[in-house]
Amino acid sequence: MRCPYCAAEDTQVKDSRPTEENQSIRRRRVCPVCGGRFTTFERVQLREMTVVKRDGRRVPFARDKLMHSVEVALRKRPVEPERIDRMVSGIVRQLESSGEAEISSTTVGELVMEALKGLDPVAYVRFASVYRDFREAADFQGVLGEIAGIRSAGASTGADGDAGLAPAETATVTRLRTDTR
Ligand SMILES: [Zn+2]
C-alpha cells in the first residue's frame, strides 16, 4: 500500500486486527521512508452498485467517495474514526441489502443525513446544507429547528463551498442563534 504522505511504494503493517464484529480487518501501517502512520481497512464488497446522479449520470458506487464526503462534513469534529467507519459501513450495508443494482444519489444522501443526525449534529447541518442546496430559507430553518440548541451549527459548511447560502439566509441563521441564547 502506497504511503499517503510521501507516496513511497511500500509501507509496513505494524498491527492487524478484526473490527466491526469481524466484518473488516484494520491494519496500522507505517512508512519506512517518511515515518508516516496511517490505517487501512479491508472488507468484503458484496456487490457492485451504480449510483445514478440527479442529472442522470451513472457512476460506480465507491465507498471511498462516500467516506470522503462524510469526512468533509465531520472535519475537526470530535468523532472517533472508528465510529465514522462503522457509520459508513452501515450505510453501505443498507444499500447492498436493498438488492438494487442502481441506487439514486438522493437515496445515498438521505441515508448519510439520517446517520449523521445521530452521530454529530454539526456535521449533519454541514452535510445537509451542501446536499440539499438550500434554495429556500425555510429549508435551512427547518434543519436548524431539528437541531435547536446547538449554537455552533452552520458555522462552516465544509470544503464543498459556501453551500449557496444567500445573505438573507445567513441573516436568518444569525437571528436564530441570537434567539437561542
Ligand atoms: Zn511516507
Same domain, 5 and 70: no
Same domain, 96 and 109: yes
For residue 18, the CA-to-ligand 1 centroid distance in Å is 25
For residue 37, the CA-to-ligand 1 centroid distance in Å is 8
Residue that finishes a domain, picked among 95, 110, 133:
133
Residue for grid cell 490505517: 39
Query: What average pLDDT does this structure show over 52-68?
Result: 91
Same domain, 52 and 100: yes
Q: What is the mean pLDDT of the chain?
A: 78
Cα dihedral 27/118/67/130 (nearest 10): -160
Same domain, 127 and 174: no
Same domain, 110 and 121: yes
Residue 122 sits in which domain range?
45-133
- Highest-confidence range of 22-26, 133-137, 171-175, by mean pLDDT? 22-26
21 class by beta-carbon count within 10 Å (0-12 exposed, 13-18 middle, 19+ buried): exposed
The per-residue pLDDT for range 2-40, each reduced to its tens digit, is 999 999 999 999 999 988 677 788 999 999 999 999 998
Q: Are 91 and 108 in contact (CB under 8 A)?
A: yes
In this structure, which residues have their CB less than 5 angstroms from ion ligand 1? 3, 5-6, 8, 31, 33-34, 36
Residue that finishes a domain, picked among 28, 43, 58:
43
Same domain, 76 and 122: yes
pLDDT at 54: 86
Which pLDDT band holds residue 153 (cuts at 50, 70, 90)? very low
Same domain, 60 and 87: yes
* Number of compact structural domains in the chain: 3
Same domain, 157 and 81: no
Q: Pull the grid cell for residue 34.
A: 517518511
Strands in 21-78 per DSSP E: 24-30, 37-43, 50-52, 58-60
For residue 29, the CA-to-ligand 1 centroid distance in Å is 10
Residue for grid cell 436568518: 172
